[in-house]
Chains A and B, each alone.
Chain A
Amino acid sequence: MTNIGSYEERLKNFSWSIAEKELGYSDAKTKNIGWYCSDRICDMGKAEKTALIWEGHDGTEKRYSFNDLRLASNTIGKFLKNLGLKNEDRVCLFMDKIPELYFSFLGVLKIGAIVQPLFSAFGDESLHVRLENAETSVIITQRKHVSKVRRILEKSPYLKHIVIVDYDGKHPLREREIAFNLEETVPVEEFEIFPTKAESPSVLHYTSGTTGQPKGVKHVHYSLISQYLTTKWVLDLIEDSLLGQEEDIYWCTADPGWVTGTSYGIIGPWSMGITQCVLDKGFSAENWYQFIEKYNITVWYSAPTAIRSLMKAGDEIVRKFNLSSLRHLASVGEPLNAEAVIWSEKIYGLPFLDTYWQTETGSIMITNFPGMPIRPGSMGKPFPGIVGTVVDTKTYEPITTPGTIGLIAFKPGWPAMMRSYWNNEETYQSKFKNGWYIPGDRARLDDEGYFWFVGRDDDIINTAGHLVSPFEVESALLEAEQVAESAVVSKPDEINMEVVKAFVTLKPGFEPTPDNELTIMNFIRKKLSPLAMPQEIEFVKSLPKTRSGKIMRRLLHAREWGEDIGDTSTLEDEE
Chain B
Amino acid sequence: MSEEMKDIILNYVIEEYLEDEDEEISYDTPLISGGIVDSFSMVSLKRFLENKYNISIPDDRATPEAFDSVTKITVLVDGFLK
- Residues of A at under 8 Å CB distance from B? 57-58, 96, 121, 143-145, 147-148, 168, 170-171, 280-284, 286-287, 309, 463-464, 514-515, 517-518, 521-522, 525, 530-531, 533, 535
Contacts and interface: CB of A to CB of B under 8 A. Distances in A.
Interface in B15-67: 16, 19-23, 30, 32-35, 37-41, 43-44, 47-48, 50-51, 64-65
Contacts of A287: 33
B40 A284 contact: no
A145 B33 contact: no
Given A121-B38, A143-B22, A284-B64, A533 B43 contact: yes
Contacts of A525: 40-41, 44
Given A284-B64, A518-B47, A521-B47, A143 B20 contact: yes
A153 to B, nearest CB: 15
Given A143-B22, A144-B20, A148-B19, A283 B39 contact: yes
Given A57-B35, A147-B19, A530-B40, A282 B64 contact: yes
Given A144-B19, A147-B19, A514 B41 contact: no
Contacts of B65: 284, 286
Interface of B: 16, 19-23, 30, 32-35, 37-41, 43-44, 47-48, 50-51, 64-65, 68
Contacts of B47: 514, 517-518, 521
Contacts of A522: 16, 44
Contact of B30 (A57, A145, A463, A515): A57
A401 B50 CA distance: 52
Given A148-B19, A170-B22, A535-B43, A518 B33 contact: no
12 contacts: A57-B33, A145-B19, A168-B22, A282-B37, A282-B38, A282-B39, A283-B33, A284-B65, A514-B50, A518-B48, A522-B44, A533-B44
A286 B33 CA distance: 10
When A and B form their complex, which 6 residue pairs have the shortest distance between CB atoms, in order from nearest? A144-B20, A530-B40, A530-B41, A282-B32, A514-B51, A282-B33
Contacts, number: 75
A518 B22 CA distance: 26
A118 to B, nearest CB: 15
A321 to B, nearest CB: 16
> Most chain-A CB neighbours within 10 Å: which of B23, B30, B44?
B44
Given A281-B33, A282-B64, A522-B16, 12 more contacts: A58-B34, A144-B19, A144-B23, A147-B19, A147-B20, A282-B33, A282-B38, A282-B39, A284-B33, A286-B65, A287-B33, A463-B40
B14 to A, nearest CB: 13
Given A522-B44, A530-B38, A283 B32 contact: yes
Contacts of B41: 525, 530, 533
Contact of A515 (B32, B37, B51): B51
